[in-house]
Amino acid sequence: MADEADHITTNIGNGADTAPQIALISQYVKDLSFENPNAPAVYQWQDQPQIDVQFNIGAERVGDEVLEIALKIEVKAVAPQGTAFAAELLYAALFGMRNVPEEQIQPFMLAEAPRLIFPFARRVLADAIRDGGFPPLLLDPIDFGALYLQQAEQMEVTAGEPAGHA
């Protein structure tokens, strides 16, 4: 029995590295835009602007084992008098992936990776808005996993519909 245990340990110790691995390599601001088209008059407005926030997630393979995940956040604040401000951030990260099963790559790219980088993108955006002379916009946390599952369910439903069906 002891010989058998030693044999197993030896095989595992000398075997190829096949365990799934994902590592964050780097994260960065890829594009940042802030517009304050009605300054300085905007600072005299009494009305609270309506704030519209849009998110988009992009993923691109940039190497054999490297993916770039980009989180795009667009914010527009509009008051009755006009646009108070508009901000757009493209925040990205590079992730190294090795031995990850193909069926797990998409959920990682669209749910887990955005969850990991969102707090950093949120801070960059809040700072840019604050630097524009407005109170910092602190976006609520987003459940990217739930959004991914919801989108996947919608894709399954529409995949079952005949082509051309609206």
Identify the residue whose tokens are 């956040």.
Answer: 73
- Give tens-digit pLDDT for 29-66: 999 999 999 999 999 999 999 999 999 999 999 998 99
Please give the pLDDT value at position 161. Answer: 60
- Give tens-digit pLDDT for 76-132: 999 999 999 999 999 999 999 999 888 888 889 999 999 999 999 999 999 999 999
**Domains of the chain listed by start with CATH number:** 26-157 (3.10.420.10)
Considering the entire predicted model, what is its pTM?
0.80
